Amino acid sequence: MSQSPELVTTLVPEEPSIWSTLKEAVTGSGQDFTRAPIGRAIVLLAVPMVLEMIMESVFAVTDVFFVGRLGANAVAIVGYTESWMTVIYAVLMGLSIGATATVARRFGEGDPDAAARAAVQSVVLGLVIAGVFSTIGIVYGPALLRVMGASDEVVDGGSGFARVMIGGGGTAVTLLFVINAVFRGAGDAAIAMRVLWFANAINIVLGPCLVFGVGPFPKLGVIGAAIGTSVGRTCGVLLQIYFLAARSDRIRIRRVQLALDRVVMRSILRISGTGMFQSFVGTASWMGIVRILSGFGSAAVAGNTFGIRLIIFALLPSLGVSNAAATLVGQNLGAGHAERAEEAAWRAGLYSTLCLAVVSLSFLLFAPAILGVFTADPEVARYGIHCLRIIAVGFLFYGYGGALTASFNGAGDTRTPTIINVVCLWLCELPLAWLLAYPAGIGPEGAFIAVSIAFASLTLVSAWVFKKGNWKTRRV
C-alpha cells in the first residue's frame, strides 16, 4: 500500500481588508510609501487628509454658527475678516507646498535627519511670515475692515475681532498649516488630522462659552469667537510641537537640528514663492467670477455663494486624494522610483475622478433639494441649482486636473502648474465667463459654463505636460 504524498501548503500573507486599511489610516500607519501597493498607499494617506480638511472647514463654520445669534453686524464682522484670512490662507498654502515637497523628497531618500532639518527651516519661515501677519493685524485691523467696505458701526464693533483673528491668531494658524504640511510630507497624515480634531474640539467648546458668557466665562460677544478660535489653534500647535519632539514615528526634531540652514531655506522659499502665487491665482479666479456675477444682482451672487460653498466642500475628498499624490510623488522621487511616482499620480487621478463622479451625479439629480436646505428664495435657489449642475459636469475633468497639479507640486515643480493656472483660469476662464454672460447673453449661467470649461482645459493641458515627464528631474 503506497503512502499518499504529504500536502505542502505555502502561507501567503493575507491582503489587508478595506476596514483594517481604513482603521490604519485613522490611527496612523508605519507603512513605507515607496514600497506599499499604490492603491493602499493612497487610501492610507488620503483618508486622514480628507478628515483634516473637514476639520479646518469646521473652524470657519463654527464661528459663523455661534456669531450668527448676535445679529447681522456680527456676521458681517466675521465675513469681512475671513476675506482677509483667505489671502493669508493662500500664502500659507504656498508655503505648505514647499514644506511638503522638501520633507517628502528627503524622507524618500532615506535621510530622516535631512527631513527634520527641512522641517525646522519650514517652521522658521512660517514664524517670519506669522510675524508679518500679526503686525499687520494688530496695527491695521480696523483699516483692513474699512478696505473691505465695512461701515463705521461694523468697524467699531469688529476691530477687536480682526486684531485677535489676524494679529493674535496669525502665528497659530501659520504654524498649524506649516507643521501639518511637514507631517504630510513625512507620510504621517494621521497626526495632522488628530491635531485639527483636537484644536477644533477646543474651539467648539470654548467659542460659545466666551461668546455668550456660559458659566464662569465672561460674555465677550463676537470677539469671544475670535479668542476661542485662536486658543484652539494655539493648543493645536502645542500638540504639534509635542509630536515633533517626542511622539512621531516618522519625523522627529532634535536639538542638533535646530540650526538655520540657508541652502535648505532658499530651496523651500523657491518652491513656496511660486506656490503662493499659484494659490493666489485660484483664489482670485473665484473672486473674478463673483465680480462678473455682481452685474446680475444680489440673487445671482447669493446663488453662486451657496453653490460654490457646496462645491468646495464636495471637493474635499478629491483634494485629500490629490494631497496624497503629492506625498507619494515626492517620496518616490526621493527613493529613485520615478515611474512609480508617475503611476501614483495617475492612480490618484482615477480615484479622485471616481469620488467626484458620485458627487457630480448627486448634484445633477438632487440640486433642488440640496439648495432648498439653504434658501427659501426661489430666484436665489434657481441660480444656485444652475451653478451646482453646470459646474458639476466639470468635476469629471477636475479629478485628474487636481491630482496632476498636486503631483507637480509634490515633485517641487510649482512653476508648471502656476503657468497652467494663469493660462486656464485668468486668460481663458475669466474672459470667457464675461463673454458668455454679457455679449452672448447667456447670463450668470455663462459664467458657470466657463468654470466647467476651465476645469476641462486645465486637466487636458496638465495631462499633456505631465506626460512629457520633465517634472521627474526637478531638483529639490
The pLDDT assigned to 288 comes to 87
Cell 503662493 -> residue: 276
CB atoms near residue 362 (< 10 Å): 15
The pLDDT assigned to 175 comes to 94
C-alpha cell at 30: 508605519
What is the distance between the alpha carbons of residues 175 and 182, in angstroms, rounded to a whole number? 10
What is the distance between the alpha carbons of residues 137 and 135, in angstroms, rounded to a whole number? 5
- Do the Cβ atoms of 472 and 333 come closer than 8 Å? yes
- Do the Cβ atoms of 415 and 389 come closer than 8 Å? no
Higher pLDDT, 426 or 313: 426
Average the pLDDT over 180-207 and give the result.
91
CB atoms near residue 382 (< 10 Å): 16
- Do the Cβ atoms of 328 and 42 come closer than 8 Å? yes
Half-sphere exposure of 241 (CA within 13 A, CB side): 10
Average the pLDDT over 84-88 and give the result.
82
C-alpha cell at 368: 433642488
Cα–Cα–Cα angle for 417, 308, 297, nearest 5°? 120
- Residue spans per domain, the chain: 36-260, 274-476
Judging by beta carbons within 10 Å of its beta carbon (0-12, 13-18, 19+), is residue 30 exposed, middle or buried?
Answer: exposed
Our CA dihedral for 203, 209, 210, 216, rounded to 10 degrees, sits at: -130
**341: amino acid identity, one letter:** A
The pLDDT assigned to 45 comes to 92
The pLDDT assigned to 10 comes to 44
The pLDDT assigned to 17 comes to 76
- Do the Cβ atoms of 364 and 342 come closer than 8 Å? no
Above 60 in pLDDT, residue 464? yes
The pLDDT assigned to 475 comes to 84
- Do the Cβ atoms of 422 and 414 come closer than 8 Å? no
C-alpha cell at 459: 486637466
- Do the Cβ atoms of 335 and 377 come closer than 8 Å? no
The pLDDT assigned to 7 comes to 43
**169: amino acid identity, one letter:** G
The pLDDT assigned to 245 comes to 87
C-alpha cell at 420: 497652467
CB atoms near residue 214 (< 10 Å): 12
What is the distance between the alpha carbons of residues 104 and 132, in angstroms, rounded to a whole number? 27
What is the distance between the alpha carbons of residues 249 and 221, in angstroms, rounded to a whole number? 42
Mean pLDDT of all residues belonging to the chain: 88
Above 90 in pLDDT, residue 439? yes
What Cα–Cα distance (Å) separates residue 293 from each residue in 67, 116, 452? 28, 47, 16
What is the distance between the alpha carbons of residues 132 and 229, in angstroms, rounded to a whole number? 20
The pLDDT assigned to 60 comes to 64
The pLDDT assigned to 126 comes to 93
pLDDT tens across 131-155, in order? Answer: 998 999 999 889 988 887 778 888 8
- Do the Cβ atoms of 335 and 41 come closer than 8 Å? no
Higher pLDDT, 14 or 130: 130
pLDDT band per the 50, 70, 90 thresholds, residue 407: very high
Cell 477644533 -> residue: 200
pLDDT tens across 292-305, in order? Answer: 988 888 788 888 87
Above 90 in pLDDT, residue 402? yes
pLDDT tens across 114-123, in order? Answer: 999 999 999 9
Q: Picking from 60-64, 276-280, 361-365, which range would have the lowest pLDDT averaged per residue?
A: 60-64
What is the distance between the alpha carbons of residues 327 and 180, in angstroms, rounded to a whole number? 12
